[in-house]
């Protein structure tokens, strides 16, 4: 193999520099942990759908925090797994087990200098893949907001440092932020899409009718703006491959003129004209774009690797070798970090600790 300098000297290379613009820093990452409240506390079982990943009891999860800290990661996203509740009464009976689990893990994380972010996805996920409470077979928006409010209260009062909002319910960031004010970091899946790569191991890969269609960039950008206005700290792009969404979000958040044009565009207004609360929020932001951008200056732009991408990397490792899978994962991360630019990013990826150990989930 001829050296790159030799190839450049011969006019046979487009590589202008050997310097890398982006390096992978473990402090950028949150490691997801699936903590199953139905397991014995010390249990660690293989994931049914993602090679190399685990479902953990609470004590086993606490033990994993030592490695996360040693590797220098920022913290963990604890995905609490539990039986779905049909109503608020059933949630009230489960609530104390969540308080205990979060409180115990929060102490262990704090002792190691880690963030502990809670993802409450499992508690109201029905068999069709939709999220929220229902009554008589119909979605109950009021009860679902009450549940979101109390989930945030549980995480905040149990010592968690952050909570995930799922990109499913219109006012989810607003009600979450109302609980804790500045005492809890909100990671909002603001651009969550109906990606076919989600739900590895699912036989149906359901379309939820709650998330944004892939490719609907205007919807994604508008929800990013609305969630920042409602108080999110980290609007998270999901899936991580949607680099264009991060770039366009950054463009709006860095320019008074760009954001004003976006909000004034009839196509943007047409998305919310039938939704009075959302229209009022758009008008509020438009009335003080400089003030909004000043508040938005504090946000980071996150990205989340969905389970299907992680599983595909495991298949790549099996067929082409671990080095190929590691290179592909590194490229995903480098592109996500580049897209976020100087604003900074947080990457949530099940494969983070495996990668920093020198391997990959497989």
Torsion on CA atoms 268, 269, 273, 275, rounded to nearest 10: 60
Contacts of 299 (CB under 8 A, 6+ apart): 228, 232, 233, 234, 235, 253, 343
d(CA 147, CA 154): 10
Q: Is residue 205 pLDDT above 80, yes or no?
A: no
In the prediction, which pLDDT does 71 show? 98
In the prediction, which pLDDT does 204 show? 67
In the prediction, which pLDDT does 37 show? 98
Torsion on CA atoms 175, 177, 181, 184, rounded to nearest 10: 130
Find tokens 């609007």 and name the residue: 235
Q: How far is CA 218 from the centre of its chain?
A: 19
What residue spans of the chain are helical by DSSP H?
A: 4-9, 58-70, 88-111, 141-157, 172-180, 217-230, 243-253, 256-264, 266-272, 276-287, 289-296, 307-320, 322-340, 352-356
Q: How far is CA 28 from the centre of its chain?
A: 13
Sign for the CA dihedral angle at 209, 211, 213, 218 comes to positive
| Residue range 103-117: mean pLDDT, rounded | 98
| Residue range 257-269: mean pLDDT, rounded | 98
Q: Is residue 149 pLDDT above 80, yes or no?
A: yes
Whether the full predicted model's pTM is greater than 0.85, yes or no, is yes
Residues paired with residue 75 on neighbouring β-strands, in sequence order: 30, 115
pLDDT tens-digit series, residues 59-82: 999 999 999 999 999 999 999 999
Residues paired with residue 79 on neighbouring β-strands, in sequence order: 34, 119
d(CA 176, CA 185): 10
What are the tokens at 4?
């790159």
| Residue range 145-173: mean pLDDT, rounded | 97
d(CA 339, CA 323): 24
In the prediction, which pLDDT does 182 show? 80
Q: Is residue 320 pLDDT above 70, yes or no?
A: yes
Residue pair 113/68 in contact by the 8 Å Cβ criterion: no
pLDDT tens-digit series, residues 84-94: 999 999 999 99
Buried/exposed 212-237: b ≥16 CB within 10 Å, e otherwise = beeeeeebbbbbbbbbbbbbbbbbbb
| Residue range 330-337: mean pLDDT, rounded | 97
| Residue range 262-291: mean pLDDT, rounded | 97
Cα–Cα nearest to 229, from 267, 177, 169: 177
Q: Is residue 196 pLDDT above 90, yes or no?
A: no
* Other CB atoms within 10 A of residue 273 CB: 12
Burial class for 291, CB neighbours closer than 10 Å (0-12, 13-18, 19+) = exposed
Q: In the predicted model, what is the mean pLDDT of the chain?
A: 95
Q: Is residue 199 pLDDT above 80, yes or no?
A: no
Of 1-10, 143-152, 261-270, where does mean pLDDT reach its minimum?
A: 1-10
Q: Is residue 345 pLDDT above 90, yes or no?
A: yes
Secondary structure (DSSP) of 147-179: HHHHHHHHHHHTT-SEEEE-S-STTHHHHHHHH
| Residue range 312-336: mean pLDDT, rounded | 97
In the prediction, which pLDDT does 180 show? 78
Length of the chain: 362
| Residue range 20-47: mean pLDDT, rounded | 97
d(CA 226, CA 139): 23
In the prediction, which pLDDT does 95 show? 97
d(CA 270, CA 274): 8
Torsion on CA atoms 216, 221, 222, 225, rounded to nearest 10: 160
Q: How confident is the model at residue 183 (pLDDT cuts 50, 70, 90)?
A: confident
């Amino acid at each position: 193999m001829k050296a790159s300098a030799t190839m450049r000297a011969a006019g046979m290379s487009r590589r202008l520099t050997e310097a890398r613009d982006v390096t992978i820093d473990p402090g950028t990452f949150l490691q997801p942990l699936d903590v199953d409240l139905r397991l014995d506390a010390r249990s660690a079982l293989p994931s049914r759908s993602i090679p190399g990943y685990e479902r953990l009891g609470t004590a086993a999860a606490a033990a994993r925090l030592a490695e996360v800290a040693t590797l220098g990661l920022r913290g963990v996203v604890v995905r609490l797994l539990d039986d779905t509740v049909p109503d608020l009464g059933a949630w009230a009976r489960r609530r104390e087990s969540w308080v205990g689990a979060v409180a115990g893990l929060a102490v262990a994380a704090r002792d190691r200098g880690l963030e502990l972010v809670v993802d409450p996805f499992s508690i109201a996920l029905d068999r069709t893949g939709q999220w929220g409470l229902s009554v008589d077979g119909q979605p109950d928006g009021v009860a679902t907001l009450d549940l979101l409010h109390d989930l945030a209260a549980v995480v905040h009062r149990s010592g968690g440092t952050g909570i995930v909002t799922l990109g499913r319910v219109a006012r989810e960031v607003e009600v979450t932020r109302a609980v804790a004010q500045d005492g809890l970091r909100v990671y909002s899946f603001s651009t969550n899409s109906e990606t076919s790569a989600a739900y590895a191991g699912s036989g149906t890969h359901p379309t939820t009718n709650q998330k944004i269609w892939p490719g609907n960039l205007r919807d994604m950008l508008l929800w990013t703006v609305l969630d920042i206005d409602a108080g999110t700290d980290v609007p998270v792009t999901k899936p991580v491959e949607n680099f264009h969404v991060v770039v366009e979000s950054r463009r709006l958040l860095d320019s008074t003129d760009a954001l004003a044009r976006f909000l004034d565009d009839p196509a943007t207004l047409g998305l919310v004209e039938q939704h009075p609360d959302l229209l009022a929020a758009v008008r509020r932001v438009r009335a003080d774009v400089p003030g909004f951008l000043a508040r938005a200056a504090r946000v980071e732009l996150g990205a989340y690797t969905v389970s299907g991408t992680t599983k595909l990397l495991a298949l790549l490792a099996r067929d082409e070798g671990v080095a190929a899978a590691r290179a592909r994962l590194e490229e995903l991360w480098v592109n996500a970090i580049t897209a976020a630019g100087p604003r900074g990013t947080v990457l949530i990826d099940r494969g983070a600790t495996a990668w920093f150990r020198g391997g990959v989930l497989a």
